[in-house]
Chain A
Amino acid sequence: MTNEALQGIISSWFPNPDADKVSEITENSDVEDGSEEQPEAQKSINPSLLEFIEEGSQFLNVLVQPEQFYALMSQLKTNEETCFDYLFCLSGVDWGEDLGVVYHLESTIHRHIIVVKVKTEDRENPNLDSVCDIWYTAEFHEREVFDFFGIKFNNHPNLKRLFLTEDWVGFPLRKDYVDEINMVIK
C-alpha cells in the first residue's frame, strides 16, 4: 500500500486529524469503527491529534499525541487494511526537550512500513502507554527504554531495569546524563 493510501486510512480513524480541517472541529463527534476501543479518540476534538511527516525519512512517519497513542497502535495492528503485526524496532529518543519513543512497524501480509512517534515533555516523570499486549516483543524493548531513558510505561507487567543494576542512578542514554568516571567525552 502506498504512503498516501495509508495516510488516508489512518486519517479516517481520527475525525480531525489534519490542520486543513480545522474548521470542522466542532462537528465531528462520530467515529467510524472500533469505537469501543478508542474512547479517547472519540472525545477529543484537538485538530493536531496526528501529524504526518514524510520529509527526511524513507518511511511514512506519524507523530501522535500520548492520549491517542494506544488507540492508534491497536487500530494499526487489528485493522485488516493496515495489519501492522510486526514491531521490528522500538527505540527511545531524547530530543533535547522532549523524550519519546519511535516504533517501526511492518505488515507481514501487505509488506508496508510505518513509523510511529510519540513524545512527552515531562522529563521528571515521563509516562507513556505500553503496547506489550499488542506486540509481545514490546515487553523487553520497553524495559530497555525504561532502563536507558527513564520513560515509564503504563500497564507494563514487569517494568524494571534490564541491563543496569537496580541501584543505578540516572538514565545513561539521555543527553543530559553525566558520568565523569565512565564516560569519555571528546
Chain B
Amino acid sequence: MEQRTTIDKSFKSEPYQINMGPQHPATHGVLNLLLTIDGEIIQKVEPDLGYIHRSIEKMCERDSYQQIVHLTDRMDYLSSNINNEAVCLVVENALELEVPERVKVIRTIIGELTRISSHCLWWGIMGMDVGALTTFFYGFRDRELINDIFEETCGARLTMNYNVPGGLMLDIHPNFIKRVKKFIVHFKTKIPEYDKLLTENIIFQKRTKGIGILTKEDAISFGASGPVARASGYSCDVRKYHPYSALDKVTFNEALRTEGDTFARYKVRIQELWESLSIVEQLIDNIPEGEHRVKTNAVIKLPKGEYYQKVETARGELGVYVISTGTKSPYRLKFRSPGFSNLSLLSHIAKGGKIGDLVAIMATIDLVIPDIDR
C-alpha cells in the first residue's frame, strides 16, 4: 500500500501548456492556439492572433470607397464576392443609388455560387482534418468548376473584385448562363456522393456526433452566426431577416438543426449546398435585361452620417459599419467579421474534450484566418 502511494505521487498529473500552430495544418492558416491540457483533456484554449493582421480598418481610413472594395477580398478570401457586395451595398444605400435589377440578380447568383464554392472547400478539408483524404480531392474537383466560371466572367479565380459601387465591373460572359446550368446538373449528382462518402461513414459520425456541443443561448451570447449558430437551432440567416440584392425574390429554407454538435454543423452546411443551388436555379433563367452598372462620380463622397450593412457570407454575418464625415474616405470603418465572433466560442465548446475533438470542432467552425485578423 505504501509503495502504491509513491508511484501515484511520481505520476501525478498536472496541467501543462502546448502550442498548436501557427503552422499546424489543422488550424487552416496562421493561427496559434495555446492549449492548457491535463493529459489529453483540454482545459483551456487561448487563441493568439495577429500573425497576418494588416490593419485593413486603418487602411480604409485613407482609401477611397472603390479601393476599399479591393481590400475586402483579402479578408474572407473564400467569400470574396459577398464581401465586395457588402461594401458596395453600404455605399449605394448611403448615396440612395438604385442599382438595376440585372445587377441585383447577378450579384445574388454569384454570391450563392461563392457560398457553394466555399462549402466545397470546407467539405474537402473537413474530411481531411478527421482523416479522410479522398474528400479533399472531390471537394476541390467541384470547386474548380465554379472557379472556371468566375474566371471567365470576373477574370479572377479567388479575389474577384467583380462588384463596384453602382453595379458590376463588367457584364456577364456570354457563356455564363450555359456553364452555370451545366454546373447545377453536375453538382446535383455530386452532393449525394458527398453524403455516401463522408456523411454516412460510421467512423466520421463517431468523430463528430456529440462533440463540441453549443447551446442556443450560448450561441446568441457569443455572437455566433452562420452555420455555427444555425446548427444550435438559432435562426439567424441575414438572407431571411435582412434580405439584400435579389434575395427577397427567391424562396429557400433556412438550414436549421437543434443538436448543436459538430455533426449538426456539418449537416447544416450540406443542407446549405442544396439551398444555394436552388437559389441559383430560380434566378439563372430570369436574369433581367438592362445595364450592368449605374454611373457614379469618380470620387465618391458619402453624406455625413453612419451606415451599417450586414450580409450573410459563407461563414456567417459580415457587418460593415461606416462613419462618414462627408469626405472621400470613411472616418471610421469597422468590419464585424463572422470568424472573429465564432472563434471566441472555441474555448467554451472545446473544454473537456480531447485534442482530436478540437480538430474536428475547428473544422466545422470553418475558420478563415485573414477574416479574423483583418
A interface residue numbers (CB < 8 A to B): 55-59, 61, 85-89, 91, 93-94, 102, 104, 108, 111, 115, 135-137, 139-141, 144, 148, 162-165, 172-173, 183-186
Contact = CB atoms under 8 A, between A and B. Distances in A.
18 contacts: A56-B305, A57-B306, A86-B223, A88-B225, A89-B321, A89-B334, A91-B334, A102-B321, A104-B308, A136-B222, A137-B222, A137-B341, A140-B344, A162-B49, A162-B50, A163-B53, A164-B53, A172-B55
Residue of B49, B317, B373 with most partner-chain A CB within 10 A? B49
Given A58-B307, A104-B319, A172-B58, A91 B344 contact: no
B319 A173 contact: no
Interface residues of B, number: 36
A81 B39 CA distance: 47
Interface in B309-358: 310, 317, 319, 321, 323, 332, 334, 336, 340-341, 343-345, 348
B35 to A, nearest CB: 16
B58 to A, nearest CB: 6
Interface in B269-323: 304-308, 310, 317, 319, 321, 323
Contact of A108 (B222, B236, B336): B236
The 8 closest A-B pairs by CB, nearest first: A137-B223, A56-B305, A163-B50, A91-B334, A140-B344, A89-B336, A57-B306, A136-B221
A87 B223 contact: yes
Contacts of B241: 111
Nearest to A55: B305
Contacts of B306: 56-57, 61, 115
Given A57-B306, A88-B223, A163-B373, 4 more contacts: A89-B336, A135-B221, A163-B49, A173-B58
Contact of B323 (A88, A93, A148): A93
Nearest to B52: A163
B343 A140 contact: yes
Residue of A85, A148, A162, A184 with most partner-chain B CB within 10 A? A162
Contacts of A58: 307-308
A95 B9 CA distance: 59
A136 B332 contact: no
A164 B221 CA distance: 26
Given A87-B223, A89-B334, A136 B348 contact: yes
Contacts of B62: 184-186
A139 B321 contact: no
Contacts of B221: 85, 135-137
B220 interface: yes
Nearest to B55: A172
B332 A93 contact: yes
